Amino acid sequence: MLRITNATKTFHPGTPNEVLALQGVDLHLEPGDFLIVIGTNGSGKSTLQNSVAGTFMLDSGRIRLNGHDITRWPEHKRARLIGRVFQNPFSGTAPNMTIAENLALAARRGKPRGLGWALNRETRDRFREQVRALNMGLEDRIDNEIGTLSGGQRQALTLLMASFVKPNLLLLDEHTAALDPKTADQVIHLTKQVVERDRLTTLMVTHSMQQAVHLGNRLIMMHKGRVIHDIRDDEKKRMRVEGLLDRFEEVRRVEALDLPAAELLKAAYI
């Protein structure tokens, strides 16, 4: 379904600000895989998602999605196959358009332009039912502008829109990080529902160890642009929050060990 081979990405190469954001990432997802991605800040999680979505091109490596080699496809072309939800509730929807208009746009993803998107009675009724299922009391507000909704309500709608036309791949990047705990739980519940109902192949980044433990059938931990742990199936099911925290602690210990070694090396070259 998704096959990333030897992906590398360096930002600001050859300058003092050089960042090796991806250093040879290999990742293969089967259809219906729900992959959780964890890792410290700056470990390359968003870069991995951005490179799959086509926000920028890889320096080297290949990306295949659903039989297509999309490595050089522009972002808008990949968007036909990929649904995305970001951390920022403001980035997924058009604020000056109503809920119904946003949904109408989402329903047209991947279709040729110019067919018109008449909001007839039947379509509006269908939208209202889909919005009702979110359990956020938005069914009577489908003619309100999205800009008037709370962050949690917008995230729930963005998720609905991202999965409207079943995407080949769903990318979620800390999509509940900006929400209060109760709303975050609601959006996570919805995520689980949508992903399981449509068996969506999903790549979800989170800093919540609870989410990492309870969601998905596979989990990777990234560090410095590499995948350093890949936990699946039964091992994933058995994983507990403490187990994950231990792995973060392990990374911290190795870092602490590395530091003096790096200092010594630097000293040797000065």
Ligand X SMILES: Nc1ncnc2c1ncn2[C@@H]1O[C@H](COP(=O)(O)OP(=O)(O)OP(=O)(O)O)[C@@H](O)[C@H]1O
Helices 99-107 & 121-132 angle (0-180, nearest 10):
100
> Interface mask (CB under 6 A) for ligand X, residues 209-248, using x and -?
----------------------------------------
* Binding flag, residue 19, ligand X (CB under 6 A): yes
Among ligand X, Mg ion, none, the one that 39 touches (CB under a kind-dependent 5 to 8 A) is ligand X
And the tokens for 112?
A: 């040729």
- Residue among 49, 43, 57, 113 at smallest CA distance from 84: 49
**Can you tell me the distance from the alpha carbon of 106 to that of 104, in angstroms, rounded to the nearest whole number?**
5
The residue of the chain with the least Cβ separation from Mg ion equals 46
Tell me which residues in 33-72 interact with ligand X (CB under 6 A): 39, 41-47
**Can you tell me the distance from the alpha carbon of 105 to that of 243, in angstroms, rounded to the nearest whole number?**
43
Please report how close the Cβ of residue 19 comes to ligand X at its closest, in angstroms.
Answer: 4
**Can you tell me the distance from the alpha carbon of 85 to that of 92, in angstroms, rounded to the nearest whole number?**
6
* Binding flag, residue 83, ligand X (CB under 6 A): no
C-alpha dist (Å) from residue 129 to 62, 156, 190: 41, 14, 15
- Residue among 255, 254, 16, 260 at smallest CA distance from 268: 260
11 vs 73, beta carbon nearer ligand X? 11
38: number of Cβ within 10 Å: 23
37 vs 138, beta carbon nearer ligand X? 37
C-alpha dist (Å) from residue 51 to 104, 150, 164: 28, 30, 23
* Binding flag, residue 46, Mg ion (CB under 5 A): yes
Among Mg ion, ligand X, none, the one that 119 touches (CB under a kind-dependent 5 to 8 A) is none
45 vs 218, beta carbon nearer Mg ion? 45
Q: At residue 79, what is the residue type?
A: A
* Binding flag, residue 176, Mg ion (CB under 5 A): no
Please report how close the Cβ of residue 218 comes to ligand X at its closest, in angstroms.
Answer: 18
45 vs 236, beta carbon nearer ligand X? 45
Binding interface with ligand X (CB under 6 A) = 11, 19, 21, 39, 41-47
Binding interface with Mg ion (CB under 5 A) = 45-46
